[in-house]
Structure 1
Amino acid sequence: MLKQQKIDVVDMHTAGEPLRIVTRGYPEVLGETILAKRRYARDTLDHLRQFLMFEPRGHFDMYGAVLVEPSHPEAHFGVLFIHNEGYSTMCGHAVIALGRYAVDHGLVAATSPVTQVRIECPCGLVVACVDVKDGIAGAVSFRSVPAFLHSKDVVVDVKGLGELAVDVAYGGAFYGLAPASAFGLDVQKSSSRDLVDAANAVSDAVRAAVRLHHPDDADLAFLYGTLLTDGNDAYSPDATANICVFADSQVDRSPTGSGVTARLAAQAARGLIAKGQTRRFESLISTCFEGTYFEDARCGQHDAIIAQVAGKAHYSGTATFWREQDDPVGNGFLLR
């Protein structure tokens, strides 16, 4: 049996959302900066993304991480995030998993009670704090890049619905924010198919109406997806829920770390949460992250915040993937 393209991985999940971490077999990703590496992977190594994310090894909603040499002087390592469509700029559930993975696998020396893991993401440096007890990594929190409300109450024309006022916020990636109730839907009770269709309609409408800009780099200025929320944006001790639909109709099983960050930025800009307050954010499968409006910041011309998001990741297994030379679908395929 002739094995080609052999790649080793560790599989984890954070609040139900998968993360496939490449541990061996991926070629060097070239580039002077993390965004240059992202472009290189997209333009040169995209067949490996499909190999790892698509069937028969993955599935439509698979998510992955490729560790790379950092360009930021303070980072322990860099990471590229991969999914069904391409390469995202930030991923909170992946950062939570990578924080635990880095401690467990010796990428960063473990110190009790908390080990700091500094990860260069395409959006910038993200600092994860890993709880460590008796040398064992547990829950993880992270503080991301400055997050801000980009566009407030933008009226967009949503196919099948009509005019709808939405927010657009940045939490390491840009998201549309809209209440699921505008479509007669419930984040945790309605069918995922209906929620995906509604979220995609909002994303299409935002892309048609809103010109995005990020002061750090033009590569960050794209709409990653839409979060449909339960509308409970004012601070409360009760949880608030959302579903994130991103990339090519991909559904996040977790509350979405960068999405929680974006929601906190929008809530802070509207005066709905105070600095230092913490909220619980639930996913469509009722798993939970905690999000805190940690401190104020600036991002170019935008008033911004630093958000802290906390959760826990678990291991699912390990695997070695390869492709046989005569396998007609071995490079990967997707079914919707």
Structure 2
Amino acid sequence: MEQPHLAGPSPINPITCVDMHTAGEPTRIIWNNIPPLAGTLLEQRAQAKSRFDEFRRLLMLEPRGHYDMYGAILRPETELVVSGQADMGVLFMHNEGFSTMCGHGTIALGRFLVDVDEKIFPRRKHLSYDPDSRTTALNLHVPCGIVRVTVPTLSSGKSDAERPVSFVSVPSFATATSLTVSVPEKYRWAELGGRSSVTVDIAYGGAYYCMVSAEELGFPGGLGEVALQDMDRASKLLKETVVANPELQYLTRDSRTAEEGFLYGVMITDSRLGHVSAVEGSAASRAQLDAGSEETGLCFFANQQIDRSPTGSCVAARVALAYAAGSLAKGEKRVYNSLVTRAHRGLAGFVGSVFDDAGSGGVRVCVEGYAYYTGYHTFVVEKEDGLGVDGFSVRDIAL
């Protein structure tokens, strides 16, 4: 039988992917039949956005994906790979476009890159193995810089699923702490009651996040009484409030480089919620052994996509924020849970800690987590398929 393929101006042959999850959040890793992208990693990202967005839609949206799918496109040739500073490049994508950083995806990629051969990962044999810690180190070039990934490794040379992968973030920093944000009437949500402002924190961990407690957002029961639709609407309106206010644009400007950024997500936090009783000897139990504190969060990012994991880049931002506020000392570990990791015994949250000082008020953060394989796929498009590459989302259908 002849293999079906995509007809049209940008032919796409069958695409082979590996799916993984990190604390419940998917990562679809793609390495073959990728549209032609050239130049620096940021130039490749710009080309993917402007010329080949159908490739993202094909793999992220229905019928091959879903509204909350997440993907990673391997880029073995970037300027930092060529210079020897990085071992592999990657572009991250989601329901809205292409992000600058992804912590849960980095953790999944760490295992995957250690497990594959040079056909997929040309620099695989150049990786450094430490026999004392039984780990393999690699540098991953992501759109916001280089993250250092450490992958526990078995004697066979394959990754060890029983121990956490860790990465050291790009410089992370807080841009606002306990900031009062006025909410114009057109952006107010019902749970605000009679209030016209909220108090938030803004921080960067490879992407910019707005942190707000569930109570401050108008939900006195916290994340223990989750009303997803209401929290979805409230977080969306809060994000629109911040983005629409020109006086708040400085919050997403890199204080070290003055580069303009964008608000990627809103993290709703609840410091009162830890993990449910974990199974003895489970990943969740091991994750909490050395941690002095815990926090649960619900993250809405991109186009209101819900992160099933604790959100690795936001963990870096939250650690940087806690360090700046003096509530987390250097080297002290904190467990960050999502609703998923809090609810499922045996499923570990992420562990975050300050790794070192990055200068100019920033820190580099170590984030630890577990990733697992879930499947292998070959995706095709028949020329007769009316959807073609224009994947869809039921949430966005307008009749």
TM-score normalised by the chain length of structure 2: 0.79
Select between 285-294 and 102-111 the one with higher mean Cα deviation.
Answer: 102-111
2:110 to 83, 99, 113: 99
- CA-to-aligned-CA distance 1:154-197 (integer Å, 9 cap, x gap): 22134222201111100000000100112215235403222222
Asked if 1:173 is matched to 2:207, the reply is: yes
Q: 1:133 to 1:47 in 2, by over 3 A?
A: same
TM alignment of 1:69-108, pairs within 5 A: 69-72=77-80, 73=83, 74-106=85-117, 107=121, 108=124
**For 2:394, what is the secondary structure of its paired residue?**
coil
- CA-to-aligned-CA distance 1:79-103 (integer Å, 9 cap, x gap): 0000000010000000000000000
Asked if 1:203 is matched to 2:261, the reply is: no
**For 2:198, what is the secondary structure of its paired residue?**
strand
Q: 2:47 maps to which residue?
A: 40
Shift of 1:238: 3.7
1:295 to 350, 353, 356: 356
Select between 326-335 and 267-276 the one with higher mean Cα deviation.
Answer: 326-335
1:194 to 230, 239, 249: 230
**For 1:60, what is the secondary structure of its paired residue?**
coil
- CA-to-aligned-CA distance 1:95-144 (integer Å, 9 cap, x gap): 00000000001332463411011100000000100011222313210001
Select between 134-143 and 88-97 the one with higher mean Cα deviation.
Answer: 134-143
- C-alpha separation in 2, matches of 1:303 and 1:291: 18
Q: Does the CA-based 8 Å contact 2:293-2:333 persist in structure 1?
A: no
Q: Does the CA-based 8 Å contact 1:20-1:63 persist in structure 2?
A: yes
Asked if 1:53 is matched to 2:50, the reply is: no
Q: 2:284 maps to which residue?
A: none
Shift of 1:296: 1.3
- C-alpha separation in 2, matches of 1:151 and 1:98: 31
Shift of 1:216: 4.2
- C-alpha separation in 2, matches of 1:119 and 1:254: 20
Identify, as 1 or 2, the structure richer in helix.
2
- CA-to-aligned-CA distance 1:256-302 (integer Å, 9 cap, x gap): 0001000011111111110010111100112401001111112xxx4
Asked if 1:250 is matched to 2:283, the reply is: no
**For 2:253, what is the secondary structure of its paired residue?**
coil
**For 2:96, what is the secondary structure of its paired residue?**
coil
Q: Which amino acid aligns with 1:334?
A: S
Shift of 1:205: 1.8
Q: Does the CA-based 8 Å contact 1:291-1:310 persist in structure 2?
A: yes
Q: Which amino acid aligns with 1:208?
A: A
- Count of residue pairs the alignment pairs up: 330
- C-alpha separation in 2, matches of 1:308 and 1:190: 29
Structure 1, unmatched stretches of 5+, are: none
Shift of 1:312: 1.0
Q: Does the CA-based 8 Å contact 2:179-2:199 persist in structure 1?
A: yes
Identify, as 1 or 2, the structure richer in strand.
1
Q: 1:335 maps to which residue?
A: 394
TM alignment of 1:102-121, pairs within 5 A: 102-106=113-117, 107=121, 108-109=124-125, 111=129, 112=131, 113-121=134-142
Q: Does the CA-based 8 Å contact 1:180-1:231 persist in structure 2?
A: no
Superposition RMSD in Å:
1.9
Q: Which amino acid aligns with 2:5?
A: K
**For 1:224, what is the secondary structure of its paired residue?**
strand
- C-alpha separation in 2, matches of 1:297 and 1:3: 48
Q: Does the CA-based 8 Å contact 2:63-2:392 persist in structure 1?
A: yes
Shift of 1:203: 1.2
Q: Which amino acid aligns with 2:297?
A: N
TM-score normalised by the chain length of structure 1: 0.93
- C-alpha separation in 2, matches of 1:295 and 1:196: 35
